[in-house]
Structure formats: structure tokens, C-alpha cells
Amino acid sequence: MAFYNHAVGQDSIPASIPADTLNVPQDTLKGKPFSDISLFSNNKGKTNAAKDSVKVEPFILDLLEISDRKRVSYAWHMDSRTFDLVEDKAIDTSLFLTHLVLPKQMQLVTQTHLGNLGSPIQSDDFFSRNYNYQFFFSRGYDDYRHELLSAKHYNVKTPHTILGYSSGGKRKEADQSLHVFHTQNVNRYLNFGVNYDYYNAKGVYENQLTRDNVFSAFASYYKKRVSAQAVFGYTYIRNKENGGLEDDYFIQDTVLESALVPFMLESASTEFRQRSISTMAGYDILTRNVKLKGVDGADSVVVKPLLTAKLFFEANRYTRVYSDSETDSSYYKNFYISTAATHDSVYQLNYTTTMLVELTQLAKYPGLPGLRFWASNTAGNYYYFKPTDFIYGNSNNKFNTSHIGAGVYSQSPYLSYSGSLRYYVEGYRVNDKELYGQLTISPWKSVELPYVKGQLLISDKEPDMFIQNYFSNHFMWANSFDKEQRFMVGGVLGADKWKFEMGYNLARVENYLYFDSVGMPVQADGVTITSAYVQKALKLGIFNFVSKVLWQNNTNKDVLSLPQLSVFGSIFFEYELVKNALLGQLGVSGFYRTKFYADGYMPATGQFTHQRAKKIGDYPFVDVFLNFRWKRANLFFKYEHMNEGTPNNEYFTAYHHPANRRVLKFGLSWIFYN
């Protein structure tokens, strides 16, 4: 899950950093001011609105209660825990740290990964990790994949297209990323779009090739009493696996050509696929008329929902294949099926149907919350090879579970809150419980001035099916783990005007599940985790400074290891080279974490594993960058890991996995508005 840190719930830049996210220069609309654009006009040509009330056909901006209709771009997402519709940042055109291309680097926290773009990632911030995953074997790729139910949707006045590309390194070891995005409105009610991300790294070291393809298509429709959203997603990832260094000596104590550095595995690979669809259809059973007065004195009547029914449906099909031709026990200690080769295949298919009824909050009674009630069922099947398949043939295991839920929400300029309670009444998750709540206090009715946010989670959750039972060529287990219990609370104090944010998080996890040094799942009694962070941006003339410091500690380091300090800092000069046309930045940025027992990685199961053999860290990763914004295009050049070998050669990103050596990279992102 993502808990409070760096503008919780946002996948764009931190809220405390200024960005040109929603306002587009008027020249993009060929000289027409926003007020002249008729696509979103509510008056339908009536000019004598001061005398006659105009009845407005509601659409998404009315549901989000957005009063500023002069922008070109609007976006929102649905909170998957509370079913809230939340206004989001739309198109980010800022030049803020555009040279950070690794997923989630914009959270300004260090990460444990296998050294190259496209490989599995685990955040070093415990409260940014997702434990609410749907497929056990894809956790390391969650940061690359697109959201479904909580996907971002758009409402735009002109078609928006983004083309982005970055590359670096020699041809035989280069890494590349490609981003293609397009969205447009058919009319003010109907929007559709596509989103595609491609990551490819040939690898500085042996057997490091990654190829990640992530595609999604989305659409939304909000008109009168009808609302609908849909997302289709397809993910295909193919990575080679090298198992890590044979000995860290070959990096930290000597200098070898990258191709000569020996790794544990020579012919191992992972292939992962996901096909998904998520839909929502709603109908306002009861409505109410709300009279609004415009700035020109004209009255308008907006029809708003009072009682709404919504139907959600989501289907996911996951497959993962791990293969290798290892024939000895230098890396894998066990061979349960074959000593000649490994071909472990796992599969999971699930369908989730949710029926929800929502009673809208009445604005004239701000203390009275809106209410939601729902019932949900998840069914499906899964497969992994079992010894009995030799006799009886392949068979899938079926699963089913159902829960009921209730939620409250209230939105106002000063105080907003929402929460949900889930209880599982049958199936493999019977008696699971989850209570979740969030609160925002904004005394000045704006996050520009000081605001406070709070978040709470209490859960009692059954371990994943694959953690309880699994069989493969190298691993097998049969467990009866207890439910994992979590209590998490966090808070944020921030002010966007001063580009400042600080937060505190506390978690207590009973029956904590993790993977030990040999890759087996283990359950510990419990662990308490505490974290605090401060984030600040400062601008003095052409001088800019951005920093974030995260402190963490926990009570049971034998089962969970985190860096005590994670630091990001950037200093750069920003200057307008050509007035109203070309903006340039020259600076340096770096990530640093203190020494800790960073996790290793087990290719056969795709899990990060706990180890107590060696600490890594206490090594800065420094980039020198040059960023430009020319009208609607952002361009960057950076010398990544320019300090390679300074202060030493212990530049590891995970246990036995070194970072790439210094390399020159460039990238271009071009935004089109018509």
C-alpha cells in the first residue's frame, strides 16, 4: 500500500513542488482565450441568463465541484478503497527534475532494485510499499504497471498527446524508455485515451536484458444520470535473470570490464503477462436541483445526484513463467522436478463484481456525510504444478470470497474526510477485516496555505494463496500462516505556497510475513515501524534547491531491514535563455542511504528476500543534468552516476546487484494540444 508520504496517492510530483500542470499557454489554442471556447459552455447560447435560470446538464466537472472552467485539462481518479472521485493533476508540463526516469523516483526516496531500468523494484520507504497486491508473483513490477480501478481519467478541451523518449549508454548495452499518451473528448461528456510505456535495457552486465511493455486504453462518460468508466490493460514483461554476483569482490575490490564480471545464473529468464479490464456503470436513481449564481449574476440550476447505484466489474488474467537450465546446486539447493532444466509456470484468473449504493452528501448540511454501502464477490482459479499432475493431469484450483462494506465521506473547503469498512463473510478470506480513513483540514480553504492530512488503516488479512501453498522445481512449501494484522497511522503538515511538507508514520504489524535468506516464506511475531520525513523546495533568483530527508526505524531488524536515513538533494540554476520560449536548468542531484542489510532477490519466485550477510549503502549516486524547456518540449541531458568509484566501489542497489556504471543519457518529451 502507499501510506502518507510525498503527496499521498499522487503519481506525479510532490504537492509541495510548483508545477505548470493544468494551465496551458493560450497560444496553444491559436489565440483564442479560454472563455471563447464553446465546447464546455453550459449556457448553450443563452445571453439573457440574468433574467432566466439556465438548467445545466451535469457532467464530470459538476460531480467534482470544479468551479474553474477556464483550464484546458482536467483529471480525476477513483480511490479504490473509498470509491471517492478525486480531482487529480492533469498534464504535467513542468521542468521539475525531468531527468529522473526510473519509476517512482519522483517520490525522492531511494529504491532497492537490480541495477537497470525495467528490473524489479522495491521502495526503501516502508510506507510506500504495496502489500495489497492481487498477484503474488508480480509484486516487483507493480511500479511499472498501469492502474485499473484507480486509473486516471481526463476531460480535455482539445486533444492532448505526449511523446517521450530517453536513452543512454553504448549501443550494445543501452537502455531506452518510450512513453506515448493520447486523450481527447468526443464531446464534453465522453472522453477516451491510450497510454503506453516501454522499458528496454540491454544491460551493462551479463544476462541483464529487460523488455517491459505496458499498455492501457481508457474511456469515461458522464451525462445527466448516467456515469461510466472503463480501462483495458495489457502488460508483457520479459527479463533475463543473472542471480546476482558470484562474489562482490569483482566490483568492490577490483576493476573488470562489465562483460567479464561473473554472475550466478547464465540462462535464466522470467516472462510475465497480465490482461485486465475494469468497468464501472452508474445511474442516479434520485436527483436534486441545486441553484448556483454565477459571477455575472446569472442563475443556473445544476441537477446533482442524490441516490446512485453503481456496478463495478474487474477481470484479471496473470501468467508467469520462470525458466533456467541450471544443473548443479551452486545457486539453487533443491531440484524437486528435474535436474536438467526448469520451467515453472503459474497462472491466476480472478473476477470481481461489486454492487454499490451511494447517498450523496447534502451541501446545505455540511456536518451530514454521504453514505455508501456495497457487496462484492471475487471468484477465480489458479494453477501451479503439483506432483499429482503426473497421475491425474493438470487441474486448476478454484477460489471464492465475498465481502460487504460501508463508507462515509464529506467534502468541504475546510474539512474533508472519507472512510470505509470491509468485512469478508465467506470464502478463503472469511473473517478478514479492514478499516480505512483519511482526513484533510484546510483552515484557509486551500493547500497553498498550511493544511493537515491524516490517515488510518486497521486490517486483519489472510495470507496470499501462493504463500500458503506452492510447488516448483526449486521451491515448495505448505504453510498454515495466521492472518497478518496491521495498524497504521500517519499525518502530513504542508503548505504549497512555501513548498514545504513534513510527515510522520507509525505501523504495527503482527504475524509479519517476509521471505528469508534462502527464499522461503516465514512469519514473525511482530514488528513496529516508525518514519518521519521533511521535504522542502527553495528558490532564490536563479538558484534552486530541492531536498527530502526520510528517517525510519523498526523494532525487529531480524525480519525487516530499512535504511535509517534516505536522502535526496538537488541544486540547480534556472535561467530563461529566450524570453517566453526557452528555459534552461543546470545542476546536480543525488540519492543517498545509510548502510543497512538491503534485500536480495530470488529469481525463481520473483520475491525480495531478507538477508543478514552484508550491509550496503553509505554511497551517493550523483547525476549532473542539463534540462531545457522549449515551448511545449522538455529536453534533458544527464551524466548518470558520474561519481562512479567515489568514495569507493560499493555501488550496490540490492544484495549482490551492482548499479550501472557512469553513463551519458538524454531524453525528450513533447506535448501536443491539438
- Tell me: pLDDT of 50 over 70: no
Show the cell assigned to 620.
551517493
Residue at 93 is within a domain? yes
- Tell me: pLDDT of 299 over 90: no
Please give the tally of structural domains in the chain. Answer: 1
- Quote the pLDDT of residue 35: 29
Give CA–CA dist 600/604, Å, rounded.
13
- Tell me: pLDDT of 33 over 70: no
E strand intervals along 6-99? 54-56, 73-78, 85-88
- Quote the pLDDT of residue 609: 97
Q: Is the dihedral of CA 282, 288, 289, 293 positive or negative?
A: negative
Mean per-residue pLDDT for 191-218? 95
- Tell me: pLDDT of 645 over 80: yes
Mean per-residue pLDDT for 558-569? 97
- For 379, other C-beta atoms within 10 Å of its C-beta total 15
- Tell me: pLDDT of 298 over 80: no
The band of 362, judged by pLDDT with boundaries at 50, 70 and 90, is confident
- Tell me: pLDDT of 1 over 80: no
**Residue 645 lies in domain:** 26-204+284-316+353-378+400-461+486-672
- Quote the pLDDT of residue 131: 86
Show the cell assigned to 344.
515453472
Q: Which of 111, 98, 100 is closest to 142 using CA atoms?
A: 111
- Tell me: pLDDT of 68 over 90: no
- Quote the pLDDT of residue 365: 67
- Tell me: pLDDT of 52 over 60: no
For residue range 225-250, list pLDDT tens digits in order. 999 999 999 999 999 999 999 999 99
For residue range 117-128, list pLDDT tens digits in order. 999 999 999 999
3-state secondary structure 299-322: EEEEEEEEEEEEEEEEEEEEEEEE
- Tell me: pLDDT of 443 over 50: yes
Give CA–CA dist 373/275, Å, rounded.
29
The band of 30, judged by pLDDT with boundaries at 50, 70 and 90, is very low
Residue at 468 is within a domain? no
Residue at 36 is within a domain? yes
Mean per-residue pLDDT for 632-660? 95
Q: Which of 458, 455, 476 is closest to 467 using CA atoms?
A: 476
Compute CA distances 282 → 58, 190, 289, 308, 315, whole Å.
Answer: 14, 15, 19, 7, 18
For residue range 267-278, list pLDDT tens digits in order. 999 999 999 999
Q: What is the DSSP letter of 171?
A: G
Residue at 370 is within a domain? yes
Residue at 497 is within a domain? yes
Residue at 478 is within a domain? no
Return the SS3 of 554. strand
Q: How far apart are the first and last CA of the chain?
A: 37
Selection from 92-106, 352-366, 556-570 with the highest mean pLDDT = 556-570
Q: CB–CB of 87/66 below 8 Å?
A: yes
The band of 656, judged by pLDDT with boundaries at 50, 70 and 90, is very high
For residue range 466-497, list pLDDT tens digits in order. 999 999 999 999 999 999 999 999 999 999 99
Show the cell assigned to 414.
475546510
- Quote the pLDDT of residue 37: 30
Q: Which of 231, 237, 321 is closest to 274 using CA atoms?
A: 237
Give CA–CA dist 91/24, Å, rounded.
9
Give CA–CA dist 290/292, Å, rounded.
6
Q: CB–CB of 544/574 below 8 Å?
A: yes
Percent of the chain with pLDDT over 70: 90
Instruction: For Cα atoms 532, 649, 250, give the angle at the middle one, nearest 5 degrees.
Output: 125
Percent of the chain with pLDDT over 90: 74
- Quote the pLDDT of residue 46: 41
329 vs 81 pLDDT, higher one = 81
For residue range 144-192, list pLDDT tens digits in order. 999 999 999 999 999 999 999 999 988 888 999 999 999 999 999 999 9
Residue at 503 is within a domain? yes
Give CA–CA dist 93/73, Å, rounded.
12
Give CA–CA dist 92/78, Å, rounded.
19
The band of 366, judged by pLDDT with boundaries at 50, 70 and 90, is low
Residue at 187 is within a domain? yes
Place of cell 558520474: 642
- Quote the pLDDT of residue 297: 59
Task: Supply the mean pLDDT for the chain.
Answer: 89
- Tell me: pLDDT of 259 over 90: no
Quick one: CA torsion of 606, 608, 613, 617, rounded to 10 degrees?
130
Q: What is the DSSP letter of 646?
A: S
Show the cell assigned to 253.
575490490
Q: CB–CB of 576/583 below 8 Å?
A: yes
Mean per-residue pLDDT for 256-280? 92
- Quote the pLDDT of residue 295: 52
